[in-house]
Amino acid sequence: MVESSQPPSKQRSLPGGDDRISQLPDVLLLQILSLLSTKQAVVTGILAKRWRPLWPAVSVLDLDDESSPDSRHGSAGFAEFVYSVLLLHDAPAIERFRLRCANPNSSACDIATWLCHVARRRVECVELSLSLSRYVALPRRLFNCDTVSAMKLNGVFLNALASFSVRLPLLRALHVGDRVLFGCHDYLVKLLSGCPALEDLVLESTYNDACGGVVCAEGNFELSLKHLSRAKIGFSWKERCLKSMLLIFQALSHVRCLSLSPCTVAFNCFLHKRT
């Protein structure tokens, strides 16, 4: 048996007791914090003074009302937390803003204010998953943002698109979830027409009552998506909405990967109308 030449006391001691993670450079610590939710990033300040000033510089904001430190106080506590985060956040730009609200009593006005704020902060990716008692109308500022490159929407109402133009010159990925309402399908065409750089499109909304009807024939849009290479269409059109459907399908001419789900049942009606 090989015996150690070190005294027994030194054999039992742990090699160092330093917080080696805190000794990493700021750039690595910020990368670590960006992998956490914003709540988790904020509470890291409890671990050591070294971490305390770092979270405001993280470029990713991941906010969830079910995991916020004040979620026990309901929507008011979460709103206060979000306002505090946005006030203290000082990164030069927001790489990703993810907001999940499951509390039906959350304020649509607060959410619109937060979205306007992140749009002014040069946000690049916006992910919304909202489950409020009523659908949230998204603000004009979000749809006129020169920096947004990806957008995922769920639990929102896009009827407000009727009152303003859409300009998203750098948007490359758009995911419209299955809980998105349109006052008219022309608004979907209007949204797409403001995204000239779009490469990846997912339309999943299956609400048959999403369209108001007669106004669908009144919009005059030209839709060109020459950069679009991937599309997944699971959207439902009524027969009276075939004009918007035709515009969208004509814009798929450059797509290399196309997926059509069974819920696009109006396609048969569309073929019948064209023959």
Mean pLDDT for 41-61 is 88
Domains of the chain by residue range: 23-152, 158-275
Report the candidate in 71, 189, 59, 190 with the shortest Cα–Cα distance to residue 122.
Answer: 59
More confident residue, 265 or 102: 102
Whether the predicted pLDDT of 217 surpasses 80: no
The pLDDT, as a whole number, for residue 186 is 79
The pLDDT, as a whole number, for residue 137 is 84
Q: What is the pLDDT of residues 135-146, one digit of tens each?
A: 788 999 999 999
Mean pLDDT for 122-145 is 91
Whether the predicted pLDDT of 32 surpasses 70: yes
SS (H, E, C) the chain: CCCCCCCHHHHHCCCCCCCCHHHCCHHHHHHHHHCCCHHHHHHHHHCCCCCCCCHHHCCEEEEECCCCCCHHHHHHHHHHHHHHHHHHCCCCCCCEEEEEECCCCCCHHHHHHHHHHHHHCCCCEEEEEECCCCCEECCHHHHECCCCCEEEECCEECHHHHHCCCECCCCCEEEECCCEECCCHHHHHHHHHCCCCCCEEEECCCCCCCCCCHHHHCCCCCCCCCCCCEEEECCCCCHHHHHHHHHHHHCCCCCCEEEECCCCCHHHHHHHHHC
End-to-end CA distance of the chain: 91
Q: What integer best gives the mean pLDDT of the chain?
A: 81
The pLDDT, as a whole number, for residue 272 is 46
Whether the predicted pLDDT of 209 surpasses 70: no
Mean pLDDT for 96-125 is 94
pLDDT band at 189 (very low <50, low <70, confident <90, very high): confident
Q: What is the pLDDT of residues 174-188, one digit of tens each?
A: 999 878 877 777 788
- Contact between residue 153 and residue 176 where contact means Cβ atoms under 8 Å apart: yes
Mean pLDDT for 145-165 is 90
Mean pLDDT for 86-96 is 95
Least trusted range by pLDDT, from 37-46, 151-160, 197-206, 230-239: 230-239
The pLDDT, as a whole number, for residue 10 is 44
The pLDDT, as a whole number, for residue 87 is 96
More confident residue, 228 or 250: 228
Q: What is the pLDDT of residues 236-273, one digit of tens each?
A: 666 666 777 788 888 888 899 999 876 554 555 545 44
Whether the predicted pLDDT of 1 surpasses 50: no
pLDDT band at 13 (very low <50, low <70, confident <90, very high): very low
More confident residue, 5 or 204: 204
